[in-house]
Structure 1
Amino acid sequence: MPVTPTAKPRLRLVPLLEPRQRVSDRFNVLVYMASLAVATALSVGLLWLAGVAPSDLGREIATTAFSSPRALGSVLAQTTPLIVAGLATAIAFRSSFWNIGLEGQMILGAIFATAVAVWDIGPESLRLLSMALAACLGGIIWIAGPAYLKLRLQVNEVITTLLLNYVAFNLLLHLLYGPWKDPVSSFPHSAQFEPFERLPQLGWQNLNWGLPLAIILAVVLWWVFSKSRVGYLIDILRSNTTMATAVGVPVLGLSVASILASGAVGGLTGFVISAGVEGRMTQDFFSGYLFSGVLIAFLGRNQPFGVVIVAFLMALLILVGQSLQVFFGVPSALVQLVQGIFIICVAASEFFLTYNMHWRSAV
């Protein structure tokens, strides 16, 4: 009886995922830079398909940002509020509080600052400082409710902070169409702030003191997060709340302080735009900053200096996108798609930081 030869088993490679126990700073940076490189390549290819050649894109970037001091000044002016918005979001995210109410905190900050100007609170020499402190207070008040609901009742902060944006917006409309409407033009914005109620100019390319304020805030937060005991405790709190409680970390107090600080900086963002950019409170000054703040904090890995760099690149992308719309007919949705590509690529890179992939043979 003939013997049928047995077939040799076919070997194949299968992936094996193991959680990483430790990630070096060097590997972290390499993965992050690789994700940005992939996102850049995909974005350039997408714009090429839309009719913008890579050479034209490079020329537009160089012209928009570096062709003249005026061009660089425009980018820096756009960068200033983005830095503060990104820092406000990053503070909350570092303590695992997902603050999606930045726009509401900006509105309340602008309302409180405008109230100081409208009602002439305090001497003129201290008016600007009073407006800044009032703006911080407005942001703190607006985030205090979601903080209480989260920490005491475990209500999802994404829902509460997001819904409060609409409440703040309607309060803003009530004021601008009612008691605070500009009596001169009757348009729905507040009266023009007095010169002593506006951020002073730096004397170069129409930049004001909002930019140094944003940089100083980033440096202070970098020191707090990287060099102070508070930053170390926040890192423990973010990594494992149960362990933080077990080792004696004041979880409740630290969480409250971080959340309120995020609200204060969010309110300060409204002040920087109202007193520095607009010179008054308008009904749409906050538009788009919620998404931009989340995007900047995420791409900057919630690091203050990373936020500054990403905010500059975001401002450059906004201005280049406007130029591409005018000269190349690129739709605005395509610019937003480019932002989404960067988010997806950076989010996908977290996989390589979380898991170590091995390949093994299997039958």
Structure 2
Amino acid sequence: MLNSAYLIRRQDPGAIRTALGYIFGLLIGLGLSAAILISVGVPAADLLQEFIVQTFMTSDGMAQTMTSAAPLILVGLASAIAMRIRFWNIGVEGQMWIGAIAATWVALHQIGPPSLRLPIGLAAAFAAGALSIWPWLWMKTRYGVNEVITTLLSANIAFLLVQHLLFGVWRDPSNSFPITVEFPLESQFSMLGWGQVHMGLGLALAIAILIYFLLERSPFGYIANAIGFNRRTAMQTGLPVVTVSLIATLSSGGLSGVAGAVILSGTEHRLSQALSSGYLFSAIVIAYLARSRPIWVVFVAIMLAAIYTADNVLKVFYGVSEAVIVLAQGTVLMSVLTASFFSAYTIRFPDTSEG
């Protein structure tokens, strides 16, 4: 009779085992989600067409996927860099709202010369996102307040602030909806001539490369790893724990703020209430699946964007409800997470033959 078992972390799972775990989990998850969608009336023959052919093998499908991937890359990097130092940033959506407010302020008030207005808006979004997370880092380090609670509640505060602005001074007087006027062209990303793909995707990829060198090829990444493994030991060895923690946390908030600005300047071109819905869930999933590795964040974000693209098609053309779509998405992600977990851990059973 099974009385106990031991969960042991593999010292080095290896690239092959890790990759096979992802592939196996993805295939199982897609199979289960396909069964769910078939059960609600989606023709089985159409699933392959929508999930594979239309999403990855057509120009329009890939363009939509890559457009959606830009902010996902940024929030994934934001969550990954915070996870390195074991700071659980659950306020990604709130920082996106704050960054969007800052970018909107620059666009509506036409701050700076026209040629620099977009960079100024992005810089303002980064600064606003970074400043919005700083109080929660200070409360954690000074008073031991759990950052999960503070960052999560801050997202609600940020959303209420957006509501106040959209129903108040920033509301478009010519529209009955709570939205701002459209941004001037100087505050919009240039289009790349491929669907709705814009220069924000290039910005996200450039930031991913920068974060890669910061975390994987510099002493900063080594110190961040040491803080994540054991903060107290890192401090006792004389490492600049406070400085690295401050930079990593502010960067996490700043990248989330930039993600909000990228959505506004790239696709929406105005501030509305539908900016950051669902990005917290996506950010955590991307960072976890990518093991907080910046390059893997890019690939996981693109895969997640592809799933979202296919699911949107199912909602529009097949009448699949939002609840079923979320269930199918969760099934795929949970399958990948489970397979990833067991590629990093092994189960050992006690030897009952002794004694």
Per the normalisation by structure 1, the TM-score is 0.89
Aligned-residue CA RMSD in angstroms?
Answer: 2.3
Equivalent position SS for 1:19: strand
AA matched with 1:216: A
1:23 is aligned, of 3, 12, 15, to 12
AA matched with 1:139: G
Does 1:321 pair with 2:311? yes
* CA displacement 1:240-262 (0-9 Å, x = unmatched): 22322232222221111110000
Kept in 2: contact 1:13–1:362 (CA 8 A): no
Q: Residue in 1 aligned with 2:267? A: 277
Q: Residue in 1 aligned with 2:230? A: 240
Does 1:56 pair with 2:71? no
Shift of 1:23: 2.0
Identify the range of structure 1 (96-105 vs 113-122) with the bigger mean alpha-carbon deviation.
Answer: 113-122
Does 1:304 pair with 2:308? no
Find the aligned partners of 1:278 and 1:328 in 2 and give their Cα distance. 25
Q: Residue in 2 aligned with 1:91? A: 81
Find the aligned partners of 1:254 and 1:131 in 2 and give their Cα distance. 26
Shift of 1:320: 1.3
Per the normalisation by structure 2, the TM-score is 0.91
1:107 is aligned, of 74, 97, 106, to 97
Identify the range of structure 1 (256-265 vs 17-26) with the bigger mean alpha-carbon deviation.
Answer: 17-26
Kept in 1: contact 2:18–2:343 (CA 8 A): no
1:335 is aligned, of 325, 333, 342, to 325
Shift of 1:99: 0.7
AA matched with 2:113: P
The change in CA–CA distance for 1:352 and 1:79 in structure 2 (over 3 A counts) is: closer
5+ residue gaps, structure 2: none
Q: Following superposition of structure 1 onto structure 2, how do residues 113-128 of structure 1 map, counting pairs within 5 Å?
A: 113-128=103-118
Find the aligned partners of 2:280 and 2:251 in 1 and give their Cα distance. 17
Higher Cα radius of gyration: 1
Q: Residue in 2 aligned with 1:174? A: 164
Identify the range of structure 1 (127-136 vs 184-193) with the bigger mean alpha-carbon deviation.
Answer: 184-193
Equivalent position SS for 2:164: helix
Percent identity (aligned): 38
Equivalent position SS for 2:179: coil
AA matched with 1:69: S
Find the aligned partners of 1:100 and 1:269 in 2 and give their Cα distance. 15
Q: Following superposition of structure 1 onto structure 2, how do residues 249-264 of structure 1 map, counting pairs within 5 Å?
A: 249-264=239-254
Kept in 2: contact 1:104–1:168 (CA 8 A): yes
5+ residue gaps, structure 1: 1-11
1:350 is aligned, of 310, 331, 341, to 341
Shift of 1:324: 2.1
Kept in 2: contact 1:89–1:99 (CA 8 A): yes
Find the aligned partners of 1:325 and 1:252 in 2 and give their Cα distance. 47
The change in CA–CA distance for 1:326 and 1:278 in structure 2 (over 3 A counts) is: closer
1:78 is aligned, of 68, 71, 81, to 68
* CA displacement 1:98-148 (0-9 Å, x = unmatched): 111111111111111111122222111111111111001110111111111
Kept in 2: contact 1:64–1:319 (CA 8 A): no
Kept in 2: contact 1:13–1:361 (CA 8 A): no
Find the aligned partners of 1:61 and 1:277 in 2 and give their Cα distance. 23
Find the aligned partners of 1:285 and 1:16 in 2 and give their Cα distance. 45
Identify the range of structure 1 (333-342 vs 12-21) with the bigger mean alpha-carbon deviation.
Answer: 12-21
Find the aligned partners of 1:67 and 1:339 in 2 and give their Cα distance. 21
Find the aligned partners of 2:118 and 2:318 in 1 and give their Cα distance. 42
Shift of 1:14: 7.3
